[in-house]
Amino acid sequence: MAAKYADVVGTAPADLSARKLPMDDTPELRQALVEGEPHTLLMTYVHLSGDEAMLDIFAPHLKSPYAYPPEQIPADLIEDLRARLLHVLTTPGAAMDGDISETLMHRMMTVGLAEEVEDEFLPLLYDQIGFRPELPRRERKDRKPAPAGFKVLVIGAGMTGLAAGVKLAEAGYDWEIVEKNEEVGGTWWENRYPGVGVDTPSHFYSFSFALNSEWHNYHPQGTDMFAYLKRVADDYRLRPNIRFNTLVEKLVWDDDAALWNVTVRRKDGSEEVIRANAVINGHGPVNRLKWPSIAGLDSFEGVRLHTATWDTSIDLSGKRVGVIGTGASAAQLIPAIAGDVGELHVFQRSRHWVMPSPAGDDEVTEGVKFAMRHIPHYLEWFRFRIYWYAADGLYPNVLLDPEWPEDSPSVSAVNEAMRQFAIGHIEKTFANRPDLKEKLTPDFPVFSKRIILDRGPYFPTYLEPHVHLEQTGIEKVTPKGLVLKDGREIELDVLVCATGFDVANMMGDLEIVGIGGKHLRSEWGTEDPRAYFGMLVPGFPNYFHTVGPNSAPNHAAGQNLISECQVNYAIECLDWVNAEEKKALQPTKPAFDAWQKKVETQMVKMIWSHPRAYSYYNNSKKRNFLSWPWRLVDFWNECRGPRKGDFELL
């Protein structure tokens, strides 16, 4: 089911070609300049005008959003900037003809962020911010075309699977996506609990090749994220190459043919074996829900729900509701349902650090949307700023300072400053509730497990008189509710388990059999996955396990970047195989072992090795199987192509 390039590449979710100069001086444009983010307006103005002097004028007033005292830009400077930008946008010939130099762009980045942007970040920034999109592979003269009939099968039509579809089509490969659900979107189609959303900022949590100006919130709600991925599938015409309602059950490598035999099961129960030269597994780790191990859980006679399989027909009005868990899903669910329920009992199994959202009420105004749709370069510069402060700018927080006291609840001076910032949020919210302060203040370092983003409603929800935060452990579930370890019984009508996913079991129920009948389950078990560069395993040729072992950006936002990078890496590997007129590749055992050693050596230097660091990043032996222990820029650089000495070509 090969797709032609011309039939695949459609209009990206932000039609950047619509941004033309000069613009009409309209009330909508003036409102956009009033509502626009000042740093982004400055970058946009300098980009269009080349007026470098404005950087010198603004530089003394610009600070990091984490700086204290907070930044104060004089109002007259902002008004002058708006007037200058209005003139450039609406006056014929006022904008520069052509783009700015690399030197000026680099200086703009450094001044706008109030910190140095090292040269090593520039290629990544140009790529991810959308300033210099790469030429599609099919148009590159230095690349050998993909051979006819070389088929790549992609598992899953979530974020990674859709990126794979777009890029495989651009590269000219025969490709197909197999999706178990009836629609694209992956976790953003499956998760429908009230309040479901994303902690990553919207304008970064999207593909670099499909920037989106239409986000309703600065952190997308689940419905918005699903709508975005659905639109990508439609705009890039991916649907003809997606098999819906089809589950991949087994992969078996054919040694003689150098092909994967992929057994799939349709919704009607019928099976088919698909032959593929390569497999990109994009089924992700957050679609295998985990129920809590509590005695009597199945005995509950009320409504029992898991956030990952929410029943949207359930009416919670006036009900006595219990929520087990206070992680990311619970922090979104709790404020979303608190106003409807009669009584809400939250059972906290472990504390989490909670940070206030810098976006306030989180709504993107119409003026800002207008700026992103129509003002050249505004959307890209806004994404740049969001990316920097949500990504590698946070990396120092997860580095252990060897001189820092080991028994401290932080790991460095930088990390301690972030801890104090988070404590300030607790102190401010619960100034008159010392009991809640004690219950909600963690004793482990910030960033050693996933941080909760508070958009305003979460922490204040615990101040409501009908909301009860229970710290005592659960002894058992009964037909009528719960019994706590102190003997108290709490009767419930609805029990919600916001207890996450079985992330460590990265294979799920999939059976994978490689060279000579070697089973990947024997290598990984149910909680100890290991791979070369988070994707490849010796003995399993042309099998790319995306979002795999030690590839998660747990110091920052950026799963979208990881997905794009891994797809790029997989295609670069396949391009190399085909350029050499071979059939497959696999990492060598020495390269695999060396990579494991490299990860382990670095992990000792990371926050996740702190004695108080316990999270789903670690397996039962406290080995961190999930986190990428370096920066995102390092991941991006590694993904430019394979280290050929680490591989065997078949």
pLDDT at 91: 97
**Both structure tokens of 108:** 């703009």
Report the 10 Å Cβ neighbour count for 496: 28
Strand order in the sheet with 489-491: 474-478, 481-484, 489-491
pLDDT value for 249: 98
What pLDDT, in 10s, does the model give residues 549-589?
999 999 988 899 999 999 999 999 999 999 999 999 999 99
Predicted local distance difference test score (pLDDT) of residue 359:
62
Name residue 356's amino acid. Answer: P
Q: Average pLDDT over the chain, rounded to whole? A: 93
For CA atoms 205, 210, 216, 222, the dihedral sign is negative
The confidence band for 142, taking pLDDT boundaries of 50, 70 and 90, is confident
Phi/psi-derived region of residue 334, left when phi > 0, alpha when psi is between -120 and 50, beta in every other case? alpha
Distance in angstroms (rounded) separating the CA atoms of residues 320 and 331: 18
Distances in whole angstroms, Cα of residue 163 to Cα of each of 207, 211, 491, 564, 566: 8, 13, 47, 6, 10
pLDDT at 15: 59
- pLDDT for position 360: 56
Mean pLDDT of all residues in 603-607: 97
Burial class (CB in 10 A: 0-12, 13-18, 19+), 558: buried
Spell out the alpha helix ranges (H) of 268-327. none
Task: Give the chain's domains with CATH numbers.
Answer: 1-288+363-407+503-650 (3.50.50.60), 297-360+408-497 (3.50.50.60)
Q: What is the pLDDT of residues 182-219, one digit of tens each?
A: 999 999 999 999 999 988 899 999 999 999 999 999 99
Residue 582 gets which letter from DSSP? -
CA distance 476 to 293: 10
Measured CA to CA, the distance from residue 58 to residue 51 in angstroms comes to 12
**532, β-bridge pairs:** 536
Identity of residue 20: K
Q: In the predicted model, what is the mean pLDDT of residues 385-405?
A: 93
Q: What is the model's pLDDT at position 598?
A: 98
Using the predicted structure, report yes or no on whether residue 3 has a pLDDT greater than 60. no
Query: Residues for the chain: how many in total?
Result: 650
pLDDT at 434 over 90: yes
Tokens encoding 188 = 């953003």
Q: What is the pLDDT of residue 393?
A: 84
Tens digits of residue pLDDT in 278-330: 999 999 888 889 999 999 999 999 999 999 999 999 999 999 999 999 999 99
Q: What is the arithmetic mean of pLDDT over 22-43?
A: 97
| Per-residue pLDDT, 11 | 34
pLDDT score of 285: 86
The count of C-alpha atoms lying within 13 angstroms of the C-alpha of 57, restricted to the half-sphere facing its C-beta, is 14
H helical segments located in 175-286: 187-190, 222-235
| pLDDT of 8 higher than 60 | no
pLDDT at 17: 59
pLDDT of 632 strictly over 80: yes
pLDDT tens-digit readout, 342-382: 999 999 999 999 998 876 568 999 999 999 999 999 999 99
pLDDT at 99 over 90: no
